[in-house]
Amino acid sequence: MTKEAPVISCKNVWKIFGDNPEAYLKKMPAGHTFDDIRADGYIAGVKDVSIEVARGEMLVIMGLSGSGKSTLVRCFSRLHDITGGTIEVEGQDVMALSEKELIDLRRNKMGMVFQSFGLLPHRTVLDNVAFPLEMRGQDRHTRRERALEVIKLVGLEGREDYFPRELSGGQQQRVGIARSLAIEPDIWFLDEPFSALDPLIRREMQDEFLRLQEMLGKTIVFITHDFDEALRLADRIAIMKDGAVEQCDTPDQIVMNPATEYVRKFTEDIDKARVVHASILAEADAKGEGEPVAAAATIHDLAGALIADARDYIPVQDGDAIIGALSRQKALKVLVGAN
Amino acid sequence: MAVLSTNSVPGEPKQYSSTQVGTWLALIALIMTGLQYAGMLPALLHRLPENWIPPFAIWLDAAFNFIRTDLGLQKLTRWFAEGPLQFMLDTTANLLYGKKRWPRFEQIPWSAIAASAAVLGYYLGGWRLAALAGGTFVWTALIGQWKDAMETMSVLVVAAPMAFIIGIGLGIAAWKYVWVDRAIKPILSILQTLPFFTYLLPAVIFFKVGPTAGAVATIIYAIPPMILMTTLGLKKVSPEVVEAGKMSGSTRWQMLRHVYIPAARTEILVGVNQVIMLCLAMVVLTAFIGMPGLGAKLLAMMGSFKLGRSFEIGVTIVLLAVTLDRLSKAWVVKLPEHHEKGTPWWKRHIYLLVGLAAFVFFTVLGQFVEWFAEIGRRQSFSQGKEIDTAIKSFLAFDIVKGTTEQIRYVLNVWVLNPFRDFLLSIPTFGFILFVVAGALALGGKRSGIYAAIFFGLVALTGWWDRSVITLYSVISAVTLAMIIGLPVGVFASRSEAWSRRVLLICDTAQTFPSFIYLIPAIMLFGITATSVVMSILIFAMVPLVRYTIEGLRNVPPEMTEAADMSGATKMQKLWSVQLPLALPTMAVGFNQAIMFAFFMVIIAAFIGTQDLGQELQKTLAGTDLGKNFVLGICVSLMALTFDMAIMTWAEGKKRMLGL
């Protein structure tokens, strides 16, 4: 597999809030912790983060409120100017862009969905969705056509003339999503898009979101503080604490091999059997016999078979190839939640 | 005092609290006053010697002259006044009351304006507003004041939009650039305390007498709240909306035009409401510089003690004020609503079409039936004479006459005059120390220092006695207003229904142009010093009652419930829970009452006072800009001292209570 250049790549990114943060960062001794920085009267919003997002990947950034996840995403789109390090989007250093280039980048490549929707209260659904197109100077007719198309995509047909306050929370966020998709962005930022919604609606919107993603296949950076949501959606999860990324890995790895104590605590109450796939438990040097199980199946999917089966090692098959065998004992441990 | 000072170790940094220092200063002041009474105080401590007083007025005059003639500012302003401004005013005057000047437009029939206003009222707020708006104009026409009212309106419709445009422009600049904000803030706070007479004279000098000067003074007077509301609104736009705008790739101009300003709609429209109301209040007051209209009529009628006509004009002004206020407030809360798909064009714009139709119908009707176009003096339903007789015979009743005379006597002989004489007897230096002590105790060090500087300046202007008399009117009126207003507020706050009723009255009363408050005072007490205090009293009572109710009603319910569960009686609850928590809010009301009082006391000069207002009014006849400004600044400095001390106290208290 040849590795394509990442869509977003950031190296040693710092974002410090306070008076003259650049000067502070320069003279700050290495190894200063979040609390040390705070003692100096500064807040480390993003602390030495290096992360890459591959094309078509869905990276979920999660952490508690104040952990810096929203700040990091706003650095990607340069809603915040970073204090140190570099961020490249599609190979361009975003900090080096002129105002015009930045506007062009946002007009053509980026879409963003906000937690409290960020809809313009004085515009109808149609005008809100068409807003980015209008900014770009598209004529009335084409932007109306395109806006109607996306409105249909998010299932708000017939409500084009409504004003945001006449819609429910879930519907408002559909407008937010439609607006962010109107320009057909390559990169899609979602900042806790479903946090302000009721649990039932949230579930519905997540399904809707997955459906859209399946159709569109965008590069996505998704922020959430809800671990279940992260596990449901993510290709990879980055867990943040005090501005720094604690671990960035696939859901299986995060659950099975937490890098730090903080991450372990996070994963403690998770039903691991629903997250962990057979592939991750497959030991390449182990040999199993008999009927193989699919690599993509979760332990939860295999629960019945695992309990009924008598074999110690069960072969795991990915596509046509056998990639190894999983220990039934270990799999059962995952199933009952013992570590 | 001696004991305290020996206790402090020399060289050690001072650790006295503001209150302690304040007490000392008050003590010194007290001793000085005592010495003065004993006749032992040196004369120069009692009043500043004449030759110590710097000729501020002359310096200011020189400065003004330089700006006016040497820098050529007057040429510019006169050009503006005679050119574009005159043109706009003539246009509106032609349209509204047929002034018959170039550019010639025909006068709009009163019935067409009334009908359009009713449709607008219906669009904004249903039948009630339609009745109010239509009714106001019908009343104005029927009572025979159409021309006066339209003279006033013709200036208002020019001044309000201009104040809006300038205000929103400066507001945006202040929001965008910190240095503009810093430069504007102190100017705004001075402008807001400057007595309106001070606006008038420069307007006359730079922009001629009559409507042009009236319009300019009005515009300047109405700008500050527009600036404040604009910056407030722009700062309040939710960060996510801003980010959404940026992520949509908006340029700076697009951000302002499509994101910030529409999102700040509510605050901006509240600003518009305030601009309209201040414009109306000011247009009425510009009668003092020869601006014709309702204000001039009212001034003339009150001056010749024609109470019936004054009353009718008062009603017209009040109706206009309430209508403009309600319409603009309804516009604030009116949010766009969508039409169902396929609604035909005429249905989407039904109100516009009906309004136009009504306008055209009555305009055409006016061509054929004269009555619908213009109601002449003899056709009007004015009952001026009858009301006049009614009021005068009512006042002549023994009980009424006895009561008002009793009040006047008691107030004058037992309260007002002794109090005034006492204030005047305090030595200048002692008076300043008293004020500084008060400011220290309330607002801390900063307020104390400002109080010292501000009152020191007032003393240096040489208008000390007049200033003290101004202050005396303010203090006595506000004190009386508190004695009446606070119990009313406390009582009303006890029940939901009464709170609502009283608040509605306060809200409505607050929209009246201040001039109106003179009418009842003059009716009851004639042209006397009591009337002055009475008119200030009524005017100042409005914010006192209002904020008392709001303060008490907004005490968190958990606290009153906790008091109830602790077995507190109503009185205990009021004194130990509700009042302490409501005090910061009440202080804001108190502050506003003082500001209103300073405003009113100057207007009351018209009745005949001996204070700064009287002197200010005299300057209007001449071109003595320097003196006019010095007097105005005196009022402003005194008002600012109170404002700063009380507001600092209220904010500190609020923070302490965690409100």
Place A338 in a pLDDT band, splitting at 50, 70 and 90: low
Token pair belonging to B444? 């801390």
Amino acid at B210: G
According to CATH, where is 1.10.3720.10 located in chain B? 148-292, 401-425+463-659
Residues of B in contact with A120 (CB under 8 A): 241, 244-245, 258-259, 262-263
Cα B267 from Cα B230, distance rounded (Å): 7
What phi and psi values does residue A119 have, to the nearest 5 degrees?
A: -80, 150
Place A3 in a pLDDT band, splitting at 50, 70 and 90: low
Amino acid at A178: A
The superfamily (CATH) of domain A273-336 is CBS-domain (3.10.580.10)
Cα B17 from Cα A275, distance rounded (Å): 65
Q: What is the average per-residue pLDDT within A265-272? A: 82
What phi and psi values does residue B419 have, to the nearest 5 degrees?
A: -65, -45
Tell me the pLDDT tens digit for each residue of B244-262. 999 999 999 999 999 999 9
Residue B609 to chain A, least CA–CA distance (Å): 52
Give yes or no for A74 touching B (CB within 8 A): yes
Helix (H) or strand (E) holding B444: helix B428-461
Residue A256 to chain B, least CA–CA distance (Å): 37
Tell me the pLDDT tens digit for each residue of A141-157. 999 999 999 999 888 98
String of b and e for B384-422 (b: at least 16 CB within 10 Å)? beebbeebeeeeeeeeeeeebeeebeebbeeebeeebee
Cα B509 from Cα B481, distance rounded (Å): 15
Q: Which residues 99-118 on chain A approach chain B with CB closer than 8 angstroms?
A: 103-108, 110-112, 114-118
- The residues facing A222 across adjacent strands are A60, A190
Cα B520 from Cα A313, distance rounded (Å): 101
Residue B115 to chain A, least CA–CA distance (Å): 29
In the DSSP assignment, the letter for residue A157 is: T
Residue-level pLDDT at B10: 45
Tell me the pLDDT tens digit for each residue of B528-570. 778 888 889 989 999 999 999 999 998 888 888 888 888 888 8
∠ at Cα B426 (B423, B427), nearest 5°? 140
CB count in 10 Å sphere of residue A327: 17
Cα B163 from Cα B47, distance rounded (Å): 43
Give yes or no for B258 touching A (CB within 8 A): yes
Give all strands of the β-sheet with A293-294 in edge-to-edge order.
A293-294, A313-318, A321-327
Tell me the pLDDT tens digit for each residue of B265-306. 999 999 999 999 999 988 888 888 888 899 999 888 888 888
Q: Which residues 164-183 on chain A approach chain B with CB closer than 8 angstroms?
A: 165-166, 176, 179-180
The angle, 0 to 180 degrees and rounded to 10, between the axes of the packed helices B196-207 and B265-285 is 80
Query: With an 8 Å Cβ cutoff, are A122 and B336 in contact?
Result: yes
Q: What is the average per-residue pLDDT within B162-182? A: 95
Positive/negative CA dihedral, B407, B409, B410, B411: positive
Query: With an 8 Å Cβ cutoff, are B241 and A118 in contact?
Result: yes
CATH topology assigned to domain B401-425+463-659: MetI-like fold (1.10.3720)
Helix, strand, coil tally for chain A in percent (to 5): 40, 25, 35
Q: What is the Cβ-side half-sphere exposure of residue A332, based on CA atoms within 13 angstroms?
A: 14
> Contact B113/B137 with Cβ under 8 angstroms?
yes
Tell me the pLDDT tens digit for each residue of A199-219. 888 888 898 888 888 888 889
Please state, in angstroms and as integers, the Cα–Cα distance from residue B70 to each residue in B64, B66, B268, B542, B623, following that order. 10, 5, 39, 46, 17
CATH number of B148-292: 1.10.3720.10
Cα B190 from Cα B200, distance rounded (Å): 16
Cα B326 from Cα B125, distance rounded (Å): 9
Cross-chain CB nearest to A103 (options B249, B262, B339) = B249
Query: With an 8 Å Cβ cutoff, are A120 and B240 in contact?
Result: no
Helix, strand, coil tally for chain B in percent (to 5): 85, 0, 15
Cα B379 from Cα B110, distance rounded (Å): 14
CATH topology assigned to domain A8-109+185-270: Rossmann fold (3.40.50)
Positive/negative CA dihedral, B105, B110, B111, B115: positive
Cα A133 from Cα A123, distance rounded (Å): 14
Tell me the pLDDT tens digit for each residue of B414-425. 888 889 888 888
Closest C-alpha among A241, A243, A240, A237 to residue A256 = A237
> Contact B291/B238 with Cβ under 8 angstroms?
no
Residue-level pLDDT at B7: 42
> Contact B203/B289 with Cβ under 8 angstroms?
yes
Residues of B in contact with A117 (CB under 8 A): 240
Environment class of A29 (CB within 10 Å of its CB; exposed 0-12, middle 13-18, buried 19+): exposed
* Predicted confidence (pLDDT) at residue A2 exceeds the cutoff of 50: no
Cα diameter, chain A? 68
Closest C-alpha among B285, B245, B244, B237 to residue B261 = B237
Cα B272 from Cα B258, distance rounded (Å): 19
Tell me the pLDDT tens digit for each residue of B70-88. 888 888 888 888 888 888 8
Cα B592 from Cα B551, distance rounded (Å): 14
Q: What is the average per-residue pLDDT within A218-227? A: 92
Cα B90 from Cα B86, distance rounded (Å): 6
Cross-chain CB nearest to A135 (options B243, B254, B337) = B254
Cα B76 from Cα B382, distance rounded (Å): 44
Q: What is the average per-residue pLDDT within B187-212? A: 84
Cα B284 from Cα B221, distance rounded (Å): 13
Cα B18 from Cα B365, distance rounded (Å): 73
Give yes or no for B336 touching A (CB within 8 A): yes
Cα B515 from Cα B285, distance rounded (Å): 7
Place A100 in a pLDDT band, splitting at 50, 70 and 90: very high
Place B3 in a pLDDT band, splitting at 50, 70 and 90: very low
Token pair belonging to B265? 């709609």
Q: Which residues have a Cβ under 8 Å from the Cβ of B607 and sit 6 or more positions away?
A: B518, B522, B527, B528, B531, B532, B535
- The residues facing B281 across adjacent strands are none
Cα A276 from Cα A30, distance rounded (Å): 37
Q: Which residues have a Cβ under 8 Å from the Cβ of B259 and sit 6 or more positions away?
A: A120, B237, B241, B242, B244, B245, B250
Cross-chain CB nearest to B335 (options A116, A118, A165) = A165
Domain spans, chain A:
8-109+185-270, 273-336
Residue B249 to chain A, least CA–CA distance (Å): 5
Give the three-class secondary structure for A316.
strand
Cα B632 from Cα B639, distance rounded (Å): 11
Cα B343 from Cα B341, distance rounded (Å): 6
* Predicted confidence (pLDDT) at residue B380 exceeds the cutoff of 80: no
> Contact B188/B221 with Cβ under 8 angstroms?
no
Residues in chain A, overall count: 339
Q: Does residue B262 have a cis peptide bond before it, meaning omega lies within 30 degrees of 0? A: no
Q: What is the ipTM of this complex?
A: 0.85
Place B132 in a pLDDT band, splitting at 50, 70 and 90: very high
- Strand A313-318 relative to strand A293-294: parallel, antiparallel, unpaired? parallel
Give the three-class secondary structure for A11.
strand
Considering only A193-202, A218-227, B389-398, B591-600, which range has the smallest mean pLDDT?
A: B389-398
Cα B479 from Cα A91, distance rounded (Å): 73
Tell me the pLDDT tens digit for each residue of A179-197. 999 998 999 999 999 988 8
* Predicted confidence (pLDDT) at residue B521 exceeds the cutoff of 70: yes
Cα A175 from Cα A197, distance rounded (Å): 14
Residue-level pLDDT at B168: 96
Query: With an 8 Å Cβ cutoff, are A161 and B265 in contact?
Result: no
Strands of A179-251, DSSP E: 187-191, 219-224, 236-241, 244-249
Amino acid at B50: E
CB count in 10 Å sphere of residue B39: 6
Query: With an 8 Å Cβ cutoff, are B337 and A163 in contact?
Result: yes
Place B650 in a pLDDT band, splitting at 50, 70 and 90: very high
Residue-level pLDDT at A244: 92
String of b and e for A78-107 (b: at least 16 CB within 10 Å)? bbbebbbbebbbbeeebeebeeeebbebbb
